[in-house]
A = this chain, B = another copy of it.
Amino acid sequence: MNWFQKEIRLEARRRGFHIITNEVVNQLPEIKKIKKGILNIFIKHSSASLTINENVSPDVRSDMEKHFNKMIPENISYYDHNSEGPDDIPAHIKASVLGSSISIPITNGDLNLGTWQGIYLCEHRNNGGIRKLVATIFGEE
């Protein structure tokens, strides 16, 4: 049994959905050591989130941004939590709908993702800044 844990800092990105698979995997060479295991990635923020989705078409990411902005709009009259601007409370709600961690199986030294799957950072703030992740790898060598 092997445990590995690392904090990863992601550069500030604009609001929207961003593929970060390579940026994350390149910082986790320990995945190669695991025969059967799990990679858990956790985001240490409540206004950004992580998800897994299609890894080729940029219009999947832009359509997701547009539709999340429709499902969870800014400036609804019943919102009270607007202290940091109109993107404040929608960012928190989106973060809980999408979730703060993902778990991906590791098989024979690689992430066992489907062909069309990648890891997304979902940045819900207009100026979210640097985002910190905790990657935890555990499994059988």
Contacts and interface: CB of A to CB of B under 8 A. Distances in A.
Interface residues of A, number: 65
A17 B77 CA distance: 20
Given A46-B52, A116-B46, A89 B60 contact: yes
A134 B1 CA distance: 20
A117 B100 contact: yes
A62 interface: yes
A45 interface: yes
Interface of A: 1, 3-5, 36-38, 40, 42-47, 51-55, 57, 59-60, 62-64, 66-68, 70-72, 76, 78-81, 83, 89, 92-93, 95-105, 107, 112-117, 120, 132, 134, 136, 138-140
21 contacts: A3-B140, A36-B136, A37-B136, A40-B105, A44-B115, A44-B117, A45-B116, A46-B54, A46-B114, A53-B95, A57-B83, A59-B80, A59-B89, A63-B80, A63-B92, A67-B72, A67-B78, A70-B76, A96-B120, A101-B102, A105-B136
Given A63-B80, A64-B93, A92-B54, A5 B42 contact: no
